Structure 1
Amino acid sequence: MKNLKNAIALVALLVGVVFTSNAQDKMSKVISLEQTKGEFTQKNLTVAPGTYVFEIANNNVGHDVGFVLVKKGQDVSKPENHIKTAYVTKAVANGKTEKSNATVLEKGEYVYFCPLNPTATNNTITVK
């Protein structure tokens, strides 16, 4: 009986997590970015503060690509500075598109890059 109660509690928790995640995704705006060989086609964006999902397209790079977002001024080479929710949920295969989890962007500047492509680390998103 104890195991059954624990199993029910676990299922309820997981359903709550999935529901919350889906609700956040539906309330998020989408920022679509495209990668070609060695670069993002969009270099500078300006958006309002809010919750965003990053949609990353791999336009014939020839291999998988990814996405990293960092507050401007922080060391991009240190993973602890990466905004983990902005990572795509899986590597973006050639000719495919993948999304990140919902990511809150507050006023300020951010830089983004792909460590797999590799792209410049001075592409910017300004939030105002």
Structure 2
Amino acid sequence: MKKVIAILVVVLGFAFNTNAQDKMMKKETVKTVSLEQTKGEFTQKQITLSEGTYVFEVSNNDAAPQVGLVLIEDGKDGSKPENHIKNAYVSKMVKHGKKESSKKVTLKKGTYKYFCPFNKTPQYTLVVK
């Protein structure tokens, strides 16, 4: 009986250790997408990415006193805040000559639109393959 219990403890301990190692090996990779705004536009007109987790970094190159970023799924109304992917918002408004970043955003395959309502940019296409 003692041998059976000892074997179970060893097996369970090994299984727990393997699961912990698997989780550590699958640590999420976060990539950065850098976007620059100039007066009335983003310099990046279209972006193609692979599925994954991203942080958006937005720089203000004399575009407007303050700029931001809105990301929506294609086909949704960008004027309605409930359609915005809120984690893509920069942490604070981006002032002249500065950069700010968003929270992590996990993107699945599909088409998205990005724009800045403060700099009055058009809606640009972001494709995730």
Work out which of the residue numbers 97, 100, 117 in structure 2 matches 1:98: 100
Identity %: 56
Q: How many residues align?
A: 103
Task: Write out aligned runs for 1:81-96 (5 A).
Answer: 81-96=83-98
Alignment gaps of 5+ in structure 2:
1-26
Work out which of the residue numbers 94, 109, 114 in structure 1 matches 2:111: 109
Are 1:57 and 2:59 matched, yes or no?
A: yes
SS at match of 2:37: strand
CA deviation profile, 1:43-70 (whole Å, cap 9, x unmatched):
1011100000000000112410000000
Aligned-pair CA distance for 1:107: 0.1
Equivalent AA in structure 1 for residue 102 of structure 2: S
2-structure distance, mates of 1:67, 1:45: 14
CA contact (8 A) 2:64 2:119 kept: no
Equivalent AA in structure 2 for residue 117 of structure 1: N
Q: Which has the larger radius of gyration?
A: 2
Task: Write out aligned runs for 1:1-128 (5 A).
Answer: 27-121=29-123, 123-128=124-129
SS at match of 1:85: helix
Alignment gaps of 5+ in structure 1:
1-22
TM-score by length of 1: 0.78
2-structure distance, mates of 1:70, 1:62: 22
Calculate the aligned-residue CA RMSD, in Å.
1.2
